[in-house]
Amino acid sequence: MALATLALAGAARAQVPMEVPGAATQVQESITPQGPPPRVWIEPRVFARQWYTDNYLLSGTDRQSEWTTELGASVLAVFNLPRLTGSVDYSLSGLYQAQGVGQEDHLQGLDANLLLDAWNNTAFVEFNGNVGRSRVSAFDVQPVGDFERPNLAETKQFRISPYLRGSFNDAVDYELRYSRFTSRTQADNRSDIDENTVSGRLASSEGVARLGWALDASRSNLDYSLGRKVTLQQVIGQLNYAVTPTLLVYVQGGRESNNVLTADTESYSTWGGGFNWRPTQNARIAMGANKRFFGHDHNLQAEYQMRRAVVRFTDSRDISTSQLGLGDGSTTLSGLLDALYGGSIPDPVQRAQRVQSELERLGLPGNTTNFPGYLTSFVTEQRIQELAFVLMLNRGALTAAIQRTRSNQLNNSLVTGDDFNFASEILQKGWSVAYAHRLSPRSAASVTFQRQENVGVGTTLFNRLDSITLALTTRLSARTTGVVMLRRSSFDATTPYRETAIQAMVSHRF
């Protein structure tokens, strides 16, 4: 699964001269020009993959094998220009079936995060885009990976947000923002979403005094194609105090109004507080909690960095208005490596090259520690707990993650056709462990174990997916990589299945 995801995501990988922290010096093939850090890094890629499975339909009774050929290309662009920062990662591939069990199709993937300084460090435009295959239901058959399989649908999400930001006499900061978000999915029984948000913020400038303040106001209009229209409004005031240079505490309160729980708009009081503490340069703990219209929300983040390792823990409870995947991107393997190299490589382009190069040398994808969510059709309340870490060894890496998520749809009187019509509360639990070992400067072997369980609380709905993946990655030339992967999957549910898959992939970077 890990190496197949690497190929399909189309994330271009760069090979730069480096060493694993603490590793002995070793000579490596350099394809990165010497000199000042690059402002722009663009790397196209082409790849071909051959995939065999003995159970393409993931059936327990009608097992049918299939040979699938995939041909595709991708491009990764990272920008660190004076007016443009961020990255765009896009891939497109075609699938060709040998036996006609599966349908010929195409796959595309997009992960884009860009920030444009439109005018004089005052007017900005932020863009986020994501295209990929999402799981439709938590209770239907669960596939491994994001190929053309049952219970998967292409989902496209885009957000564009122009805003103004500045300061009055270096004493009061302001921000005025508009945001437009759209979500479209091929699943007919899940909502498309349109969201428009206007928000404003006034706050005392940082460093002016130990006692600060902030005032935030926002209004969001959401339209769910299978639900109904929703309006969310908030006005929140905050006082914060810097107890020490490393400890900030705050309290806040205000009013919020919406029509999520009721047909008519209702108003609610909200109040809470929290702190942000950095006891050492390598450790950070942040905690916030509030009384809200649906109960209590909270957000706990804890991180500790060492020379060879990063550990992150998050625990949050809040509402979700979109179909974004569960979990926090900072706890993926890419996010952990980005944090590990953040102190030694401040330049974002060079750091992205370092992260992608390390992923390629180890033969692991950036989302190794990520767990898939499922599509919803209305506002949901979610409690997400994640613990993830990565440990870099002299000749390899060990990464692991564990996650627990409880979700329920707010306003159960709505019949939207999603999973919450079968279970008012859904529990997801999962863990993964991966170890990659560099056999030589050109080759690496990896093994990945993963388990995920989905439970309809108070019902008989239950399934569990276990998979083990063995992979061998080798650099055939300076810019060409080959991968061979063997995967065994076991799915336990009312309709279980077993699957064995073999994949071979060759990719070339230009």
Q: Domains in the chain, ordered, with CATH? A: 2-509 (2.40.170)
> Residue 174 pLDDT more than 90?
yes
State residue 197's pLDDT score: 97
State residue 369's pLDDT score: 67
How far is CA 14 from its chain centroid? Answer: 21
Query: How far is the C-alpha of 72 from the C-alpha of 175, rounded, in Å?
Result: 42
Angle at CA of residue 385, ends 185 and 299, nearest 5°: 95
State residue 15's pLDDT score: 32
Integer angstrom CA distances of residue 120 from 168, 319, 509: 15, 35, 37
Query: How far is the C-alpha of 48 from the C-alpha of 372, rounded, in Å?
Result: 25
State residue 207's pLDDT score: 74
Q: Are 388 and 369 in contact (CB under 8 A)?
A: yes
Per-residue pLDDT of 462-488, as tens digits, reads 999 999 999 999 999 989 999 999 999
**DSSP result, 12-54:** -----S---TTPPP------SPSSSPPSEEEEEEEEEEEEEES
Q: Mean pLDDT in the chain?
A: 87
Per-residue pLDDT of 304-348, as tens digits, reads 999 889 999 999 999 988 764 434 456 678 888 888 888 778 877
State residue 20's pLDDT score: 34
Give the confidence band of 103 by pLDDT, cuts at 50, 70, 90.
Answer: confident
State residue 404's pLDDT score: 94
Q: HEC states along 145-201?
A: CCCCCCCEEEEEEEEEEEEEEEEECCCEEEEEEEEEEEEEECCCCCCCEEEEEEEEE
